[in-house]
Structure 1
Amino acid sequence: MANSPQSAKRARQNERRFEINKARRSRIRTFVRKVEEAIASGDKDAAQTALRVAQPEMMRGVTKGVAHKNTVARKLSRLSGRVKALA
């Protein structure tokens, strides 16, 4: 339980940010899942378009502090490599 008005306010702000960040993470995962499904189906065009849509969403997660820059860079690199490998 918060002991001071300041800590009570911080607790409220943390709850609000947690909900926003949770929604943003979920949204990013959805975009990544769409790329994964396109790769699994073997459709290169769909995979490329899904990756093109997912990329800015993942980078937005970096700017908003939801994900680390290197983590997103690694995941994008691996996804693009898998898309490129489709023949």
Structure 2
Amino acid sequence: MANSPQAKKRARQNERRYAVNKARRSRIRTYLRKVEEAIASGDQEAAAAALRQAQPELMRGVTKGVVHKNTAARKMSRLASRVKALNA
């Protein structure tokens, strides 16, 4: 249990950041799921549109420190290649 005032404040801050980061992670996953669903439906235009919406959300997660830069790049690359493959 936190005893010093500083430790108590850090505990409060950690709770707040945890909630914010959890919401942000959930939002990113929602956008990625929309892309996955559009790919599964086979509609390339919808998948491309969903990918365009997911990209800034994923990159925002990177700038906020929720997702690692390479993880975001890998996810975007794999999704983009799958969307591109729908056309062929």
How many positions carry a matched residue from both structures?
Answer: 87
> Are 1:28 and 2:38 matched, yes or no?
no
Equivalent pairs: percent with the same residue?
A: 78
Gaps of 5+ in 1: none
What residue number does 1:78 align with? 78
Over aligned residues, Cα RMSD in angstroms? 0.4
Question: TM-score of the superposition, structure 1-length normalised?
Answer: 0.99
Moved over 2 A (4+): none
Structure 2: 5+ residue runs without aligned partners?
A: none
Separation in 2, partners of 1:77, 1:10: 37
Shift of 1:3: 1.7
Superposed, which structure 2 residues align to 1:61-76 within 5 Å?
61-76=61-76
Under a length normalisation based on structure 2, what TM-score does the superposition of the two structures give?
Answer: 0.98
Query: For 1:2, what is the secondary structure of its paired residue?
Result: coil
